[in-house]
Structure 1
């Protein structure tokens, strides 16, 4: 799997307990159907172990909010069917996606990791926007 993120796409990053999580999202116009309120995004995530411990990703927890403020929570084991084990300095990159019934929204979440000593801990996934060309431009 490629270990690179996309050029010319905004990256959202955070570091928790020496685990860096970088996220990029992009709208999939060819898979979306605005006339039936179906908007699809892909997101690419790179997880980097910047610490001294070997860590394994156990679970994920997502909070997905659409443009109407409706919230969906998703919990599950691993990511894309895997439980990446990261030695110091190693990284793991994957791509996944989400549908919404609105042309914009955002996601935020956490990963649950365990280190070699058996200590479980949570790592933040930064909030990132899901913007489509079908969304109304708002300036706050």
Structure 2
């Protein structure tokens, strides 16, 4: 029996790139409120068209607090990406410390019926001038 949930074949290859930005106008350090925007670019580098079904995020602050977020699609959409196509969106998160990390995965379904995860490697959430 083969496990198709973590497919990293040439058929199913989703690349995820993330850029983050601190949002000072929505943050309040005195109240331990640090807001970050993140822009995600999802690109289908495989051979099979695929649809993003759900998302799973793990958000950590430097106090050790972990938030898990699961839901359908991204920003209310479930993009269907043909080979070579990309989708970009911006969302945000709030943590209680000036530095944290996020990571996760998108659960995808190829047009060939194969379900697989597109991994989102860990990335930093960092208020400017906190990390030297």
TM-score (norm 1): 0.83
Q: Residue 116 of structure 2 is aligned with which of 99, 116, 121?
A: 121
What does residue range 4-83 of structure 1 map to in structure 2 within 5 Å?
16=8, 17-83=12-78
Query: How far did 1:133 drift?
Result: 3.1
Structure 2, unaligned runs of 5 or more: 1-7
TM-score (norm 2): 0.88
Structure 1, unaligned runs of 5 or more: 1-15
Partner residue, 2:3: none
Runs of 4+ residues deviating >6 angstroms: none
C-alpha separation in 1, matches of 2:24 and 2:42: 27
**Contact conserved, 1:23 with 1:126, CA < 8 A, in 2?**
no
